[in-house]
Amino acid sequence: MAYPMLARRAYGATGDGATLGRPKWLGGGCHGLSSSSGMPRVEVNRTLCKVLALADAVTFAYLSRTGLCRRPVRRPIVQVLRTRTARSASMDETHAPPSLLVDFHNHFVGPGFPLTNLERLPAAQRPLWEGINARLADPDALIASIELSGISARVISAPPEFIEDSDGNVPADIYPRINDAVAELVSRHPGRLYGLASVDAYGGERGTRELDRAVNQLGLRGIFMPSAKGDLLPSTAEARPTLAAAAALGVPVFLHPVEDTQLFQRFSAFGRLGVRLTRGTINSAALFAMMESGVFEDCPGLRVVVTALALGGLLLAGTVGDGGKLHAGTPPPMRRHVYVDTTGMHPAIVRSAVDLLGADHVLLGTDWPVIVEEEVRPRLQDRMDSLVMRRQTN
């Protein structure tokens, strides 16, 4: 998924990048929802800025001049996934893609955890996934892929579906071990890798405690959350503590597709397209559940990233009939909560995502190693040029 996307900006209190003021759009964590883990509410949403302001110092100036970005340029301080050492990215008035390209959507499990996903796959798909699994467990392949793709860094996450048992469960002790392993790998490749926390997102307070540890002690930058667990969606009471914790910590939630059992049974006859339809449908349903249940109103500090597989749902939410609740013109608080990546890098995906939510709510992502994208930078340039030309001719 590949477009350098603009997140909402945090502006320096002095205007020179020396300090960060609290973004006006941040808000608090959750109204009436708090975690018993005792997590402090962050004074400045540093982590969200680091993860969502993805490699767009150049792009912000570029798109602002061409009308793709609606907000005026006010010397924004772009936090490009900084380490704990203070750094800021300044604006560069060029037409090239950003000098830093950070891929938000990537998966890695590591060699210490047996992968179980092959057991549930049809025989015809196993050769493909054997290769994917090999990359999921190989840190050298992960690092080499950064150079091969022409990007600057990857944000990695470990989906539970790769390691769960036949009943869809993951042993409770696995999540801390995965987070420890991810943090250790990230520490060996600063500026090249960033990690999202793995927790039992539908496990109530147990998940919030591990999220607190992963963010505050290990330095991970967000949370990976499956779109569903069995019949549970993010709107359920079981998931609320996790969402409250993410909002209080100021970290984004990566709401990732899964294969819903009932949908999979209905659509599996369509092959790989059926699998994608299943996953895209549940990704959309998870977002709808949050929109309709009051999660975003209760958690004004919550930020959620869905994949491009949910683009159909986003279109329904933003354009069809009286459902136009989520589009580029939607005022806070709704639009500010939702971001989408650009899996597949197809021009139609990028155009639709930008037109619907605005360029500041679209993230670069490739779904590595499920999808292996090469030459991301020149392809990204093509997407940017086509967007600009289309706006200029309209």
User: Helix or strand or coil: residue 114?
Assistant: coil
Mean per-residue pLDDT of the chain: 76
- Average pLDDT of 129-142? 96
Q: What is the mean pLDDT of residues 112-119?
A: 90
Question: What is the pTM assigned to this prediction?
Answer: 0.77
pLDDT on residue 334: 60
Q: Tell me what the mean pLDDT of segment 185-193 comes to.
A: 97
Give residue-wise pLDDT tens across range 279-305: 999 999 999 999 999 999 899 899 999
* Per-residue confidence (pLDDT) for residue 39, from 0 to 100: 38
DSSP 113: S
122-145 burial, b if ≥16 CB within 10 A, otherwise e?
Answer: eeebeeebeebbebbbbbebbbeb
User: Are the C-beta atoms of 226 and 256 separated by less than 8 Å?
Assistant: yes
In this prediction, residue 54 carries a pLDDT of 36
SS3 assignment, position 339: strand
Between the ranges 8-17, 167-176, 312-321, where is the mean pLDDT highest? Answer: 167-176
Task: Give me the pLDDT at residue 153, please.
Answer: 95
Higher pLDDT, 234 or 390: 234
Which pLDDT does position 30 carry in this prediction?
Answer: 65
Per-residue pLDDT at 341 exceeds 90: yes
Task: Supply the DSSP symbol for 280.
Answer: H
Contacts 24+ apart (CB under 8 A), 165-170: 165/116, 166/119, 166/120, 168/229, 168/230, 170/200
Query: What's the confidence (pLDDT) of residue 381?
Result: 76
**Beta-strand relationship, 102-107 and 223-226:** unpaired
Neighbours of 311 (CB within 10 A): 23
pLDDT at 98 over 50: yes
- The region of weakest confidence among 6-10, 104-108, 345-349 is 6-10
From 269, 276, 294, 253, select the one nearest 367 (Cα to Cα): 276
**Res. 63: pLDDT tops 50:** no
Q: Which two three-digit tokens encode residue 281?
A: 């449908």
Q: Which of 164-173, 260-269, 306-315, 348-357 has the highest mean pLDDT?
A: 306-315
The radius of gyration computed from the CA coordinates of the chain, to the nearest angstrom, equals 19
Report CA 169 to chain centroid distance, whole Å. Answer: 23
Residue 64 has pLDDT above 90, yes or no: no
The edge-to-edge listing of strands for the beta sheet with 223-226 is 197-198, 223-226, 253-256, 304-306, 338-341, 362-363
pLDDT at 324: 56
Please check whether residue 197 is in contact with residue 187, taking contact to mean a CB–CB distance below 8 angstroms.
no
d(CA 359, CA 61): 12
Of 93-102, 167-176, 210-219, highest mean pLDDT: 210-219
- For 251, other C-beta atoms within 10 Å of its C-beta total 29
Distance CA 70, CA 250 (A): 25
In the predicted structure, residue 368 carries a pLDDT above the cut 80? yes
Helix axis angle, 347-357 to 376-393, nearest 10°: 50
**Rounded distance between C-alpha atoms, residue 349 and residue 331, angstroms:** 23
Residue with more model confidence, 155 or 63: 155
26 backbone dihedrals φ, ψ, rounded to 5°: -65, -50
pLDDT value, residue 330:
57
Letter string b/e over residues 355-368, b meaning 16 or more CB atoms within 10 A of that residue's CB: bbbbbbbbbbbbbb
Which comes out higher in pLDDT, residue 71 or 75? 71
What is the tens place of the pLDDT at every residue in 223-248?
999 999 999 999 999 999 999 999 99
DSSP assignment of 292-318: HHTHHHH-TT--EEE-GGGHHHHHHHH
Q: What are phi and psi of 391, to 5 degrees?
A: -65, -35
CB 38 within 8 A of CB 306: no
Interacting residues of 202 by C-beta distance below 8 A, sequence separation 6+: 226, 229, 232, 236, 238, 239, 242
Structural domains of the chain, with CATH = 96-393 (3.20.20.140)
Helix (H, G, I), strand (E, B) or coil at 283: helix
